[in-house]
Chain A
Amino acid sequence: MNDESASDFTLEELQAQHTAELPARDLMIGVSILGIPLAGVSDVGVTVDTSGPNWLFGSVGGV
């Protein structure tokens, strides 16, 4: 028969049992990409070839 009052655990061990709330796992994306230049990255330039991806799409499209 198990002795209900016997314990190998000290109070400190019981107190040290770990518990923690995990933060909500909310994966987010900003809907305001326009904020990027306003947040300090004001000199970003982009280069786009508008001659058309002919080698990729064949004769379809292109400007």
Chain B
Amino acid sequence: MTPLREPSHKTFVLMDPSSSGPTRRAVRLVEGTRLHGMYQASGHREAPWLIQRRDGSVVEVSSMLFLLATTLDGTRQPGEIAAVMSAESGRRISAADVSYLVEQKLRPLRVVEEPTAVARVEASTPVLGLSLRAAVVPEHVVNKATTWLQHLFEPPVVIAVLAAMVCLDAWLVFGTVLDTGVNDLLYSPSLVLMAAAMTVLASAFHELGHAAACRYAGARPGVIGVGVYLLWPVFYNDLNDCYRLSRSARLRADLGGVYFNAVLILVFAGVYAITGFTPVLVVVVLHHLLIAQQFLPFVRLDGYYIVSDLAGVPDLFRYVRPVLASLVPGRRLAQPSQTLRAGPRALVTAWVLVSVPLLVGCLVLLVVRLPQLMVTLADSAGRQYDLLVAAIRAGSTGSALASALQLVFVAIPAVGLSAVVLRVMLAVGRRHGRSSLRRSSGRRAEPAEPHAVSSAGRPT
């Protein structure tokens, strides 16, 4: 595992470029910052190095910046740091360079403590990222729960679980007695109620699987919470600490969720074997769909992270624009893609070429089918509303709750679908508006350079 280095937090001296001479002011790494080391099995020609901020988020930097961060021990002046870095890198670096790199590179990453209180800079929102997140299970509870659960990743246990799953699936696939459509769930109150409860249970257990795999590898899983992803409510587990693990350990953490779903499926099969309660088997099938859904690599589900870790590229969406741009005849390979090794570049390119048309296609399908879907949802909602009213009149609390829950289940996708379509239309409208404005003002569109810096901060 990557060694962890805890920096000390004493003060050190940095030249202030705005003054005529060296000014003493306290500069140190933010307390709680962790220097993890090189990103393992990176797809880049020059592997990035990882620094974890106090809030748990992770940034990647060049080896030179990481080396600089390790020297911020609170005792060295820029000249001394320059001497250390020169000795380590084999190239001479000046004290002014050190000051420049601290001010222009490390400080914007919020890993260097500010001399005075400054306005908090919000982290950037990733493309198709999680929103409206709220922690439900605190970190220490997650870690306590995974103390025992991590043993489910011992190889003999894994082999036994997978073998049992193969047997169970063989029996499910070759059976022919019960034939039911998934759509029937919309009109079957008791089944929906049970499936909903089991799905919530399985989802929470799924997240524990990620956490347990993370813990098994020696990293510390974060909170488990709820949020909204695309149009669905989701459970999530914060696995930022997994960035520092080896590729195989990261992949184990990616697969830990569906592995725990498999464990739960076997438990359900056991319940069926003991009780003979048939609907449990429908839940088993639903959980297979849940697993299949998780392997979709196009949005940030488990499959996405699997592709990401296989490629050694933490943020695949960062390469969408460069890869698409490189398809234009006569255009050179865009800069981010140039830094990738041949194998990972091929994988990332394939992911972009499959994902982008598919996501666009899904969106088009969604828009085209929206009226029909809304009719189905409205029909189902009407039935459930009638049942709800009848249950209330009959004084049947259980039936009323079941109907109310189903109304919520029907409303979630309806609201979500509408929100997605609305957000996309607004985004397209804003982009179109900006393009029109630029054309009318005669200005040329500026290329996106999220980390471009000015040379003004370099002391001379």
Chain A residues near B (Cβ < 8 Å): 2-9, 11, 14-15, 17-53, 55-57, 60-63
Interface centre among A2, A19, A44, A51 (most CB of B within 10 A): A19
Interface of B is mostly: helix
Taken together as a complex, chains A and B put the C-alpha atoms of A36 and B286 apart, in Å, by 10
25 sample A-B contacts, Cβ–Cβ < 8 Å, listed by A number: A9-B92, A15-B104, A15-B455, A20-B60, A20-B318, A21-B57, A21-B59, A22-B59, A22-B60, A24-B123, A26-B133, A27-B210, A28-B301, A29-B236, A29-B301, A33-B289, A37-B182, A38-B376, A39-B366, A50-B178, A53-B171, A56-B171, A56-B273, A61-B274, A63-B276
Which chain B residues lie closer than 8 Å to A61 at the CB level?
A: 272-276
Stretch at the interface among B27-35, B192-200, B345-353, B383-391: B192-200
Give the contact-size bracket for chain B.
35 or more
Knowing that A24-B126, A27-B302, A28-B235 are A-B contacts, what are 16 other residue pairs whose CB atoms are under 8 Å apart, sorted by A's residue number?
A4-B94, A18-B46, A20-B48, A22-B58, A25-B305, A33-B195, A35-B232, A38-B413, A38-B417, A40-B366, A45-B182, A47-B172, A48-B284, A49-B177, A50-B281, A61-B274
Which chain A residues lie closer than 8 Å to B176 at the CB level?
A: 47, 49
Q: Find out whether the CB atom of A32 lies under 8 angstroms from the CB atom of B409.
A: yes
Q: Find A44's partner among B181, B242, B294 (CB 8 Å cutoff).
A: B181
Which chain B residues lie closer than 8 Å to A19 at the CB level?
A: 59-62, 65, 105, 108-109, 451
Which chain B residues lie closer than 8 Å to A8 at the CB level?
A: 91-93
Find the A residue at minimum CB distance from B91: A8
Which chain A residues lie closer than 8 Å to B362 at the CB level?
A: 40
The 6 closest A-B pairs by CB, nearest first: A49-B175, A23-B126, A61-B273, A7-B94, A57-B273, A8-B91
Q: Find out whether the CB atom of A7 lies under 8 angstroms from the CB atom of B62.
A: no
Q: Find out whether the CB atom of A2 lies under 8 angstroms from the CB atom of B79.
A: yes
How distant is B122 from chain A, measured CB to nearest CB, in Å? 11
B293 sits at the interface (CB 8 A): yes
Taken together as a complex, chains A and B put the C-alpha atoms of A42 and B243 apart, in Å, by 38
Q: Find A31's partner among B124, B181, B232 (CB 8 Å cutoff).
A: B232
Which chain B residues lie closer than 8 Å to A57 at the CB level?
A: 273
Taken together as a complex, chains A and B put the C-alpha atoms of A41 and B185 apart, in Å, by 14
B327 sits at the interface (CB 8 A): no
Q: Find A28's partner among B236, B272, B285 (CB 8 Å cutoff).
A: B236
Answer whether A33 and B293 are a contact pair too, CB < 8 Å, given A5-B96, A28-B227: yes
B183 sits at the interface (CB 8 A): yes
Q: Find out whether the CB atom of A26 lies under 8 angstroms from the CB atom of B199.
A: no
Q: Find out whether the CB atom of A27 lies under 8 angstroms from the CB atom of B229.
A: no
Q: Find A48's partner among B82, B83, B282 (CB 8 Å cutoff).
A: B282
Answer whether A53 and B276 are a contact pair too, CB < 8 Å, given A23-B314, A31-B200: no
How distant is A14 from chain B, measured CB to nearest CB, in Å? 6
As a 0/1 sequence over residues 306 to 320 of chain B, the CB contacts with chain A under 8 angstroms (1 = contact) are: 000000001101100
Q: Find out whether the CB atom of B57 lies under 8 angstroms from the CB atom of A24.
A: yes
How distant is B335 from chain A, measured CB to nearest CB, in Å? 10
Q: Find out whether the CB atom of A49 lies under 8 angstroms from the CB atom of B314.
A: no
As a 0/1 sequence over residues 49 to 72 of chain B, the CB contacts with chain A under 8 angstroms (1 = contact) are: 010000001111110110000000
Q: Find out whether the CB atom of A27 lies under 8 angstroms from the CB atom of B207.
A: yes
Answer whether A18 and B48 are a contact pair too, CB < 8 Å, given A34-B192, A61-B272: yes
Taken together as a complex, chains A and B put the C-alpha atoms of A23 and B207 apart, in Å, by 18
Q: Find out whether the CB atom of B269 lies under 8 angstroms from the CB atom of A53.
A: yes
Q: Find out whether the CB atom of A20 lies under 8 angstroms from the CB atom of B451.
A: yes
Which chain A residues lie closer than 8 Å to B210 at the CB level?
A: 27
Taken together as a complex, chains A and B put the C-alpha atoms of A23 and B226 apart, in Å, by 17
Answer whether A27 and B413 are a contact pair too, CB < 8 Å, given A20-B60, A44-B181, A46-B285: no
Answer whether A25 and B108 are a contact pair too, CB < 8 Å, given A8-B93, A62-B276: no
Q: Find out whether the CB atom of A45 lies under 8 angstroms from the CB atom of B179.
A: yes
B139 sits at the interface (CB 8 A): no
Q: Find out whether the CB atom of B199 lies under 8 angstroms from the CB atom of A33.
A: yes
Q: Find A53's partner among B105, B168, B234, B285 (CB 8 Å cutoff).
A: B168
Which chain A residues lie closer than 8 Å to B13 at the CB level?
A: none
B186 sits at the interface (CB 8 A): yes
Which chain A residues lie closer than 8 Å to B366 at the CB level?
A: 39-40
Q: Find out whether the CB atom of B275 lies under 8 angstroms from the CB atom of A25.
A: no
